Amino acid sequence: RDYTREMIRRQELYLPLFEKYLKKYDLPSELKYLPIIEAGLNPKAVSGPRAVGLWQFMSPTAREQGLKIDWYIDERMDPEKSTEAACKYIKWLYGVLKDWKMTLAAYNSGIGNVKRAMRRSGYKKDFWQVYRYLPRETRSYVPQFAAIMYAMEYADEHNLFVEEQLYPIAHDVIKTNQFIYLKAFAEESGISLQDLTQLNPAIKKGAIPATARNFELRIPKKSSE
């Protein structure tokens, strides 16, 4: 219950963003709950196998989807860019598997593991028919998704309420082509370093490299002047 309450508290930070991109790629809006299982709605989440961000991309898959990863920047932690990449990847998985439960299973364990499980099941295509051939974590992943979707949709019926809802910081974007040390930038501009860090989670080392071209730095709208 405590975990679900915390997700309800954070949902306005990210769920409207997820809904925007899911609609753009003509995907079911219920997929907005996937990053709750994946990362607890934490854009800086890092798993044991080194999956990163709200959508928990491994680096090879992230790069395949056009996300940039280097010493300074990891776009897997950028909510906008990682969400669009995830939508493209999920749409591709569904195009191959033609089934939403199997698509979720493939998102969790990779399409290779799912195809192997289908082959071992005698080429069945239903999640429950290939269930026992899937990796253990993936077997629980789809029921977990159903559970969290239910919990979020019907929270009020189970007396799950929060006193303080979190909301995103209204922001503008400035483009930069030079090295910027965020701490110095914050001090010179009077912008809160905490706000800058929260708005730009993809910046790993507290700085934008000199090699960045047209890097989109998000700043609080109230400080844009």
Mode of pairing for the β-strands spanning 207-208 and 180-181: antiparallel
Is residue 40's pLDDT more than 90? yes
pLDDT digits (tens, 9 = 90+) for 180-217: 999 999 999 999 999 999 999 999 999 999 998 999 99
**The pLDDT of residue 49:** 84
pLDDT digits (tens, 9 = 90+) for 6-16: 999 999 999 99
**The pLDDT of residue 131:** 97
CB 169 within 8 A of CB 216: no
Q: How far apart are CA 223 and CA 31, in angstroms?
A: 34
Supply the residues annotated as catalytic.
38
Q: How far apart are CA 172 and CA 222, in angstroms?
A: 9
Angle of the 79-97 helix axis to the 111-120 helix axis, nearest 10:
20
pLDDT digits (tens, 9 = 90+) for 54-72: 999 999 999 999 999 999 9
**The pLDDT of residue 173:** 95
**The pLDDT of residue 193:** 96
Burial of 33 (0-12, 13-18, 19+ CB in 10 A): buried
CB 97 within 8 A of CB 126: no
CB 173 within 8 A of CB 220: no
Mode of pairing for the β-strands spanning 215-220 and 171-176: antiparallel
**The pLDDT of residue 224:** 85
Is residue 48's pLDDT more than 90? no
Residues 23-50 have a mean pLDDT of: 96
Angle of the 100-109 helix axis to the 111-120 helix axis, nearest 10:
120
**The pLDDT of residue 45:** 96
Confidence band for 167, pLDDT divided at 50, 70 and 90: very high
pLDDT digits (tens, 9 = 90+) for 110-133: 999 999 999 999 999 999 999 999
* 105 membership: H or E segment, kind and range: helix 100-109
